[in-house]
Each structure stands twice: as C-alpha cells, then as structure tokens.
C-alpha cells in the first residue's frame, strides 16, 4: 500500500550572547524549515521537516548557562525549555565557554536539549544541527528499519530486523539458573531489585507499552554447551561461536508458553557449577567479555555470574551466595536498552552524552523509540487494511460482521489522525493515535469469523448442481417449448373461425 509520511520535528536553536555567528541571513529571531525526502520504495516516501526557530537566550536561560558544569546547566535549563515529546532544543555557547570540556563540541543532556560549542559560521552550525537531530530524533536507517516490511531485502542493513517490533505490551521474565544446587545455595532479592532499578526504567517506558515482570528460579538447568578449560587463566571459557547453541536447551524449560500473548523478553542469570567455575565468555577475538553477558535480538539476554571459590577447601557445601543485584541489573537493563535499539556506541567522537542515571534512558532516547514505533505502527495499519481489503475482494462471499466493520473504520480514522499529527510535530498524540489504529486493525484482520473455507473448484460446482437441477428442468423446459409453440400457432391463425 502506498503511504506518504511527513515527520515534522520542532527544533529551537538558542544563541547565548557572544556565540551568534556573523553570517546569519536575517536578524534573530527567525524561522527556517528544512525538508528532506527519504524514498523507501516505489510507493512509500518519508519526508522530514525540521521546523527550526533561531532565537537568543532569555535572561533566565543566560543565568542557567552560567552554571559551572554542563550537567548543572542541563538541569537548570530543563524547566525552561519546550518539553513536548519530539521537540529538540540546541543551546549554542561561546567557543571559549568552560561548560564543555576540552575536545568536546557537543554535550547531549538527559532531557531534550544539547549544548553546542559555537564556531565556524552558520554552515558549520547547520552541520552540527544535522548531526544532532540524527542522534536525538531519527536517522534514515532507523526510519527504514521501522518500515522494514516495505524495503526490499537487499537494501536493508544488518540491524534492520534486530530491534523489538512495536507491540502493545511486553512481558519481562527474570530467571535464575542454578545447575548445581548442591554446591551453591543462591539467593537473589529480585523483588527488591525490580522495584528499585527496573521499575523506574519501565515507568519511563510505560508511554511506549505495557510491561509486566515475572521472575523464577530454575534448578538443574544446564547450558547446552560444555565450556573449555583454559590452562593459562585457569578458568573455563565459552567461545563466541558456541553461544548460539546455548539458548535452545534452556528455552524449553523457561515456561514461556504459560505467559501472555505479548512478546516475552527473558533475562537469565546463570551461576556456573562448582566444577566449571569460573566461567568467562570470549568474544570473537578471544578476549574475555567484561560484562560476561550476551544477548539475542528479540529474545533476551544471558549473564554468567561467577561465584568465588571458598577460602578453605573444607568449607561446607552448599555455599551461600548472595547475588549482587546492582551489577546484575546494570547489565540486564543495558541489554534491555539494546533490545529496544537504544545504543550509545556509534557516535561521532566530539559528542558527550549525559548518562541517564537510574531512569535508564534519556528523554530523547524515548523520543527515538516513539518516532520509530509511530512510523512502524502506521505502516503496519496501512498494510493490514490493504491486505484485508484484497482478501475481501477476492473471496466475495465472506460475511463482514458489524463489529469488524466498525473496527476497520476506527482504524482508518486513527491512522489518518496519526499521520496528521506527525505532519504537525505532535509526537505524543501521533503515537497514541497510531497505537489505537494498530489495535483496531489487528482486531479486524484477525477476527476469527473471516476464515475463507469457501473455495470450490468449478468442476465440483458442476458435479453438485447438475444432477440436482437437470432432471427437474427437463419437464419445465419441454413445457415452456410447448407453450411457445402454441402461442405462435394461435398468432398465425387468427382468422380461422369454425
């Protein structure tokens, strides 16, 4: 189905005193609109509009920018800026300003703003702005990945289908795997850890979807792969190419078939057996991985938690192990971010990103997710409704119930409103509308009453109806012929009177 998306991003560029470049086309404040087209395929195009306002700082903003460090400035500027979802504010500070450390030209804060070092005139500033919007809102590849259904396979990059698909809810399961309960009695305070560390992140993500969390402990659950003993480090190693085979034997025991219909994200903490401790994961170059963890796209992550050998060999087994939940949750939450596609690794060197702290993700990262999910939702609705229409055209005798029809109407209305909101730059309402549209269209498409068991080959139709109607039709047709003959005869002899 053809679709035209217009994504409007409201951007504000605020110049601190002494940072205004000399070659501005007009005096401040002024507006500017930059449009760019991203062709996705023959029938889908995405146009991005950056509606930029260039202005100078207000007195309050100047005071905020006088802070000692970039972090404090960011915190002070937060209440003064436009906090609607999807908007960006870029503060340009003088070249000599001490807010940004040496060698850093751009500092991206926790919310929706960034501090940029001035210098180089308007063209350089525009280039910086371009880079910044790529980082903080969306890139060509993130939009193309969201529309991956429509892009021919050859054009998709390697991470096109890595990230979790947009869904109304996700179920997160934390599992502790203890293959050797005789040696280790492992205790993890998962409930406390979930309340303290996981819940703030999920609260921040609650705008995107509903999350539910469970946890379980599995005993005698082994990895499917035997690790190698490495004499030099006197530890056991799992090489990178044996990792793909680790997940399957465990998956059968995870009980994911009892969970809800939402996609399930599994986070496993594996405490190796006494005889295989310590266990380290090797990356492709043979170096041990610092996090001792790996993840599988759209599935979840596994972390290996090594327990130190007891001080004395006569220590009584089982050893009591209290898991350090902070270390574990740091890795699991990082894996959760990666599963959603929020990576901080591919950035230009002169960028400095503020750590989001316990919230897990910055506001602009939430925006990135929302842009991608909104576009994906609208594209899905369009494809679903078009294929539903094609199905109903093809098989004429499917009955469409009233509630299916009303779901379709609702889906169309919501999708149209989502597209309209996107074109204006209201990301929040666009996302909500797109969620409603997806819910309605999925309900309409997957309605159980639309099953088409109605294909009859032509020869079957003849074989059924002819023996039924032909014998009955013979006397009728003969009588009709007789009537016609009589009428014709009467017409021919009107004057014959006896």
Partner 1 sequence: VCTSRFWFNYRHVANTLSVYRSVKRLGIPDSHIVLMLADDMACNPRNPKPATVFSHKNMELNVYGDDVEVDYRSYEVTVENFLRVLTGRIPPSTPRSKRLLSDDRSNILIYMTGHGGNGFLKFQDSEEITNVELADAFEQMWQKRRYNELLFIIDTCQGASMYERFYSPNIMALASSQVGEDSLSHQPDLGIGVHLMDRYTFYVLEFLEEIHPASQTNMNDLFQVCPKSLCVSTPGHRTDLFQRDPQNVLITDFFGSVRKVEITTETISLDPDLADFERKHPKDELATEPLKYAEQLPVAHIIHQKPKQKDWHPPGGFILGLWALIIMVFFKTYGIKHMKHIF
- Structural tokens at position 253: 């025991």
Distance in Å, CB of 269 to partner 1, minimum: 13
What is the DSSP code (8-state) at residue 440?
H
Residue matched to tokens 């574990």: 328
Measuring CA to CA, how many Å separate 254 from each of 83, 247, 250, 333, 340? 41, 10, 7, 20, 22
- Radius of gyration of the chain from Cα atoms? 33
Interacting positions 209-238 with partner 1 (CB under 8 A) = 224
Among 289, 319, 412, 424, which residue interacts with partner 1 (rule: CB under 8 A)?
A: 289
CA–CA gap between residue 406 and residue 395 (Å, rounded): 20
Pick from 86, 272, 341, 356 the residue near partner 1 by CB under 8 A: 356
> CB-wise, 72 or 149, nearer to partner 1?
149
Contact track, partner 1, 150-169, x by CB under 8 A: ---x-------x---x----
Determine how many CB atoms are found less than 10 A away from the CB of residue 177: 24
Residues 476, 54: Cα–Cα separation, whole Å: 88
Should residue 291 be labelled a site residue for partner 1 when binding is judged by CB under 8 A? yes
- Which of 87, 377 has the CB closer to partner 1? 377
d(CA 17, CA 57): 7
- Residues 6 or more apart whose Cβ sits within 8 Å of residue 42: none
Give 345 or 493: the residue with its C-beta nearer to partner 1. 345
Q: How far is the CB of 391 from partner 1 (least distance, A)?
A: 7
The DSSP secondary-structure symbol of 450 reads G
Among residues 188, 294, 340, 431, which is the contact residue for partner 1, using CB under 8 A? Answer: 294
Considering only 32, 214, 230, 447, the residue that binds partner 1 (CB under 8 A) is 447
- Kindly write out the interface string for residues 398-417 of this chain, putting x where it contacts partner 1 by CB under 8 A and - elsewhere: --------------------
For partner 1, the closer of residues 229 and 446 by Cβ is: 446
x-or-dash pattern for partner 1, window 179-208, by CB under 8 A?
A: ----------------xxx-xx--------
* CB closer to partner 1 out of 391 and 466: 391
Q: How far is the CB of 18 from partner 1 (least distance, A)?
A: 35
Question: From CA 430, how far away is CA 367, in angstroms rounded?
Answer: 12
Q: Name the phi and psi angles at 186, rounded to 5.
A: -95, 135
Q: Which helix or strand (DSSP H or E) is residue 459 part of? A: helix 458-492
What x/- string results for residues 39 through 78 when contact with partner 1 is judged by CB under 8 A?
Answer: ----------------------------------------
Q: From the CB of 468, what's the least distance to partner 1, in Å?
A: 12
| Segment interacting with partner 1 (CB under 8 A) among 109-117, 268-276, 310-318, 326-334 | 326-334
């Amino acid at each position: 189905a053809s679709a035209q998306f217009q994504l409007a991003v409201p951007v504000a560029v605020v110049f601190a005193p002494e940072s205004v470049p000399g070659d501005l086309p007009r005096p401040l404040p002024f507006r500017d609109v930059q449009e760019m087209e991203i062709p996705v395929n023959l029938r889908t195009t995405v146009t991005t509009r950056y509606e930029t306002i260039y202005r100078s700082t207000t007195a309050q903003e100047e005071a905020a920018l006088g802070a000692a460090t970039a972090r404090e400035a960011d915190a002070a500027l937060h209440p003064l800026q436009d906090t609607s979802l999807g908007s960006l504010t870029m503060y340009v500070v003088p070249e000599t300003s001490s807010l940004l450390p040496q060698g850093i030209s751009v500092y991206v804060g926790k919310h929706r703003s960034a501090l940029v070092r001035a210098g180089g005139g308007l063209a350089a500033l525009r280039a910086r702005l371009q880079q910044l919007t790529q980082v903080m809102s969306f890139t060509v590849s993130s939009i193309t990945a969201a529309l991956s259904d429509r892009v021919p396979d050859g054009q998709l990059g390697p991470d096109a289908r890595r990230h979790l698909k947009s869904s109304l809810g996700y179920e997160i399961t934390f599992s502790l795997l203890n293959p050797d309960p005789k040696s280790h009695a492992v205790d993890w305070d998962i409930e406390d850890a979930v309340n303290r560390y996981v819940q703030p992140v999920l609260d921040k993500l609650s705008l995107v979807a509903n999350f539910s969390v469970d946890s379980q402990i599995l005993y005698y659950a082994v990895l499917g792969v035997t690790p190698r003993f490495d004499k030099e480090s006197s530890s056991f190693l799992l090489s990178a190419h044996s990792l793909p085979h680790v997940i399957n034997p465990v998956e059968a025991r995870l009980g994911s078939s009892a969970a809800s219909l939402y996609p399930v994200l599994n986070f496993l903490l594996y405490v190796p057996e006494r005889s295989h401790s310590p266990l380290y994961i090797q990356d492709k170059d043979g170096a041990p991985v610092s996090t001792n963890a790996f993840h599988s796209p759209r599935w979840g992550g596994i972390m290996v938690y090594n327990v130190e050998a007891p001080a004395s060999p006569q220590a009584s087994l089982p050893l009591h192990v209290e898991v350090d939940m902070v270390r574990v949750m740091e890795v699991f939450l990082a894996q959760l971010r990666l599963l959603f596609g929020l990576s901080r690794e591919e950035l230009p060197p002169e960028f400095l990103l503020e750590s989001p702290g316990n919230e897990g993700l910055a506001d602009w990262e939430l925006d990135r997710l929302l842009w991608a999910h909104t576009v994906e939702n609208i594209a899905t609705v369009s494809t679903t409704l078009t294929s539903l229409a094609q199905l109903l055209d093809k098989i004429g005798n499917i009955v469409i119930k009233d509630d299916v029809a009303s779901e379709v109407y609702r889906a169309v209305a919501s999708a149209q409103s989502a597209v309209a909101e996107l074109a204006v730059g209201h990301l929040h309402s666009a996302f909500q509308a797109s969620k409603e549209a997806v819910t309605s269209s999925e309900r309409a498409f997957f309605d159980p009453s639309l099953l088409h068991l109605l294909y009859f080959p032509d020869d079957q139709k003849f074989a059924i109806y002819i023996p039924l109607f032909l014998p009955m039709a013979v006397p009728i047709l003969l009588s009709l012929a007789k009537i016609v003959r009589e009428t014709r005869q009467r017409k021919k002899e009107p004057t014959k009177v006896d």
